[in-house]
Amino acid sequence: MREAIVRVSDVFKKYRKGREAVEVLHGLSLEIERGEFCALMGPSGSGKTTLLNLIGGLDNPDSGKIEVAGERIDQLNARALARWRSSHVGFIFQFYNLMPVLTAVRNVELPLLLKKMSARERHKRAMTALEIVGLSDRARHLPRELSGGQEQRVAIARAIVSDPDVLLADEPTGDLDRDTANEILDLLSTLNRRQEKTILMVTHDPVAAERAGRTVRLDKGSISSDQEAA
């Protein structure tokens, strides 16, 4: 059995909606092993993206513990959390979130600006990441000069450029056609198998979830099922 790289223990999270407090996560506990590819599924409002944001240090729980890569991130202040994120987590979003005025390689370099390294080293690492995702020949292209699938590959290169412990993907194929989505899923599967990247992916797509080794379903802020692939 591999070690758990993510430990979420008895986590509660509420958001204010006007005068009403809406409980999104209700005493949720979850462990993800190092090197695992796990899909999070469930209806809208079930807490999937909230859980992903908590594990990535983009939000804080109201109570409970969150440990990622050996760090109790629920105890970190904002500055320490930003430093931690830059080294340990890579984010992949549905709509890519690329800077439109920057070339592909410059977009990939962005996470490295928080690290102490030369411009030459940043460029070298960014080019290596683009090569991994099969886009080194598009390094000088702006996002508007790329297809949707190519933009998502740039976003994945940006996510892996700092060699993070965990990749967090929120509907990474949600804006793509089926063929392009399958190409992105192939890439994520390759990163998981060959580079042993731990991947936690939120998806509504059963085809995407089938690529994961495990599927966790959420409903009303709690885990309703937890199944490993046959």
Task: Walk along the chain (230 residues) in steps of 10 and give the mean pLDDT of each run.
Answer: 89 87 91 95 90 93 94 92 90 89 96 88 95 94 94 94 93 89 93 93 92 93 84
CA dihedral 178, 32, 191, 87 (to 10 degrees): 120
- Helices 148-160 and 119-132 cross at an angle (nearest 10°) of 130
pLDDT of res. 179:
92
pLDDT at 26: 92
Looking at residue 56, the DSSP 8-state letter turns out to be T
Spatial separation of the C-alpha atoms in residues 90 and 46, rounded to whole Å: 23
Instruction: Tally DSSP H helices, then E strands, for the chain.
Output: 7, 10
Q: Where are the beta strands (DSSP E) in the chain?
A: 4-17, 20-33, 37-41, 63-68, 71-72, 89-92, 166-170, 198-202, 214-219, 222-228
Give residue 136's pLDDT. 93
Q: What is the pTM of this model?
A: 0.91
Exposure pattern of 139-160 as b/e (b: 16+ CB <10 Å)? Answer: bebbbeebebbbbbbbbbbbbb
Domain 4-228 of CATH type 1.10.150.20: no
Domain boundaries, given as residue ranges, for the chain: 4-228
* pLDDT score for 4: 92
Q: What is the pLDDT of residue 230?
A: 66
